[in-house]
Amino acid sequence: METQTGRLSVKKVGGKSTVTSCFSKYPLKFIIPNKVGSSENDAVWVYTLTYGGGIVSGDSISCEFSIGDGCTTVLTTQASTKVYKSLGSKCSEQILEARIGSDAILAVIPDPVTCFSTARYSQKQIFRVVSDSSLVIVDWITSGRHESGEKWDFELYKSTNHIFLEGNQPLFLDTVLLEQGSNTSVSELMQDYQVIAMVILLGPKLNHIQNQVQENVKRMMSEQLYIPSNGLGHSGKTSSDCYLTKPTFIASCSVFGPKGIGVVIRIAAMTTESVYRFLHQQLANLEPLLGVSPYC
């Protein structure tokens, strides 16, 4: 069992967002490029990785991030987070705690988690914001290694996201739990869907993106779930009428927080590629803030 810890602080130095302290313990590592995007962009990009390419049974990863006032920081990965097979009842865990200052932005935009057969994995992300902080969270999981015939074969997956305002006031509390049951497997519950995802957009700097994403999701779902009229009315239906097919991609939006300051998008999809495409399209307007468009 490896205990991996990391701490990182970003502050304004000379008018630029700058990493002022950074620590990680082997086998956890942070990669911080000198510049992502144009030279005028102020965002600090941080890539997390573990030597060996994944999370081993029993591993415990704990990271703390502090994003200073007016800073922009992106936390991402170089590839999907692989969670290897569990040994006995050992559960791998990953904990992220982040504080986001006034007029600051934190974007947590990783590739998906992929759990191997029998894996047990729990992650918890805690974000502490002030009234004018902005936050992007993408949290998603695939069904597993399709090429090996694994689809929702892991034993346990738990993902918790908590957002607190000043004074430890709860703003958003959410947990997703997928666990094999004695009567019903996760695969049976998920049917043909191979990816589930959640996207959170919070804060004043993201207002225009929130509005656009809500409109886009509403239009997408209206088109996908549209039932063409056959002109017969309810009483004129016959056994030969067409029936609804299962959507390959489902998304929904809802607002949360005082005056709807946050938006959460939930997704279920049959392919990982369709979710990558959705994220790229819907988050493209983050490019002026982050330097490059996410999920290119």
pLDDT surpassing 70 at residue 232? no
Model confidence pLDDT, tens digit, residues 77-95: 999 999 999 988 889 999 9
- How far apart (Å, rounded) are the C-alpha atoms in residues 77 and 131? 28
- Reply yes or no on whether the pLDDT at 106 is more than 60: yes
pLDDT value at position 19?
97
In sequence order, the 6+-apart residues with CB closer than 8 A to the CB of 202 are 129, 133, 134, 135, 136, 163, 171, 172, 257, 261, 262, 263
- Asked whether the predicted pLDDT for residue 244 surpasses 90, the reply is no
Enter the DSSP assignment of 166: G
Query: What is d(CA 119, CA 157) in angstroms, rounded to the nearest whole number?
Result: 8
- Report the pLDDT averaged over residues 105-120: 97
| pLDDT tens-digit readout, 162-205 | 999 998 999 999 999 999 988 899 999 999 999 999 999 999 99
- The pLDDT > 70 percentage for the chain reads 93
Question: Do the bridges between strand 60-67 and strand 92-100 make them parallel or antiparallel, or are there none, so unpaired?
Answer: parallel
CA distances in angstroms from 252 to 127, 170, 187, 258, 263, listed in the order given: 23, 23, 22, 20, 10
Q: Are 280 and 290 in contact (CB under 8 A)?
A: no
